[in-house]
Structure 1
Amino acid sequence: MLAALTGTGLSAAAGLNAYIPFLIVALTARFTDVLALPSQFAWIESDWAIGAAAVLLFSEVVLDKIAIVDHLNDAIGTFIRPATGGLIFAATQAAQDLEEGSSFMQDNPWVGVVAGVVTAGIMHSGKALTRPFVNGTTMGMGAPVVSAAEDGASLGLSLIAIFLPILVIFALVAVFWLLFAMWRRSRRKQKYRDTAMAAAGYYS
């Protein structure tokens, strides 16, 4: 149960930012005894994987905070985020199975991959659908604020998933509520703006 919560939390975090949970898993496995990745996933904690993820994270953090550019970044993320979610779900599940003496996830890694892809895909969809409304109603000024909040949520979810997995469900509810609240607020602003423009004769 806890292994599933860890995988779910990490893959959901990947839906917001693919590289934050990847790096946290890699660094935790590399420098602590909290997570011991099985041999087929040991490359995640290698120097080249950590270095590449760090560079990509820097790019993601910068590009995702620029209005319009963030849409292109989300389009690319449509493939990267679910794939990363599937990878880290399978890796952490297999690691837990290794500790518990079970071999199910090691023998059937596709189960974790599918679960991670679906979870990350759902979170990514929420992010991608919310951002255009935020940018449209703030003329792009809201992009860096919302992006920073998403990065913070991804970081928080990742840490909770590894160190306090029992709280993953509550964290997910909070993140979904945050995304919904931003979407609803942006919709209201857009509706108010459209109403005001119509009253001023712009749509006549």
Structure 2
Amino acid sequence: MTEAVALAAGLGWASGFRLYAALLIAGLLQFAGWVQLPPALQLLAHPAVLGASGVMAVVEFMADKTPGVDSLWDAIHTFIRVPAGAILAYAAIADLDPAWALAAAIVGGTLAAGTHAAKAGTRAAINTSPEPFSNWGASLAEDVTVVGGAWLVWQYPLVFLGLLLLFVLFCIWWVPRVFRFVRAILRRVGGWLGFSPPAQRP
């Protein structure tokens, strides 16, 4: 049960960072016979699914390394990562118990939303700097984090769940701050362009 919970949480969490890489990693591990995915997720190892997730993982890898394009990509994927995280988490526990699977979907979608918000907000803040190196560094750190998280999910699920709890606490602290910073930048840019914020009601 611990492994199934860690897998559900891990897929939800990773979907907010690198959805297609998460699909590809899980599918490749199943295809190679290194792990046994739950029945509802074994379709990820089908060659057609591997090919599609592989192509999209490469596209996402390139888009995420380009300042500005990464924020546009994140904006579009606001409507993809969160439901995908919920569906993957549900599928990870679907064969155990319907109630637990529904709970997993709720948590998985929430984790995907939190991870996505932290990632998108941080990258938007980083993109206010004209140099590309901080963007590349943040993107590569996300790549390594997802691969490392996948390794922990299957090797040390309890360790992963403990670190995930710390990450959730960090997001609760970090996301409001980074979005306040981004909002302040947008207001400043709006002032430069002649757009004034709406007057506050008395």
Return the letter of the residue paired with 2:44: I
Return the letter of the residue paired with 1:113: A
Q: Does 1:30 align with 2:31?
A: yes
Please, which moves more after superposition, 140-149 or 170-179? 170-179
Number of aligned pairs? 178
Report the identity percentage: 27
TM-score by length of 1: 0.74
Q: CA deviation at 1:30?
A: 2.3
**Match for residue 14 of structure 1?**
15
Q: CA deviation at 1:33?
A: 5.6
TM-aligned CA distance change 1:160 to 1:142, over 3 Å: same
**Match for residue 77 of structure 2?**
77
Q: CA deviation at 1:136?
A: 1.0
Q: Which aligned segments of 4 or more residues in structure 1 are displaced greater than 6 angstroms?
A: none
**Match for residue 97 of structure 2?**
104
Q: CA deviation at 1:112?
A: 2.8
SS of the residue corresponding to residue 128 of structure 2 reads: helix
Q: After the TM superposition, which residues 24-63 of structure 1 pair with which residues of structure 2 at under 5 Å, given as runs?
A: 24-32=25-33, 34-38=35-39, 40-63=40-63
**Match for residue 199 of structure 2?**
none
**Match for residue 202 of structure 1?**
none
Unaligned runs of 5+ in 1: 98-102, 195-204
Unaligned runs of 5+ in 2: 189-202
TM-aligned CA distance change 1:74 to 1:176, over 3 Å: farther
TM-aligned CA distance change 1:176 to 1:144, over 3 Å: farther
Return the letter of the residue paired with 1:133: A
Of the two structures, which has the highest relative contact order with CA contacts closer than 8 Å and spacing of 6 or more?
1
Q: Is the 8 A contact 2:64 2:73 kept in 1?
A: yes
Distance in 2 (alpha carbons) for counterparts of 1:155 and 1:10: 12
TM-score by length of 2: 0.75
Q: What's the RMSD between the two structures over aligned residues?
A: 2.9
TM-aligned CA distance change 1:175 to 1:118, over 3 Å: closer
Q: CA deviation at 1:84?
A: 2.5
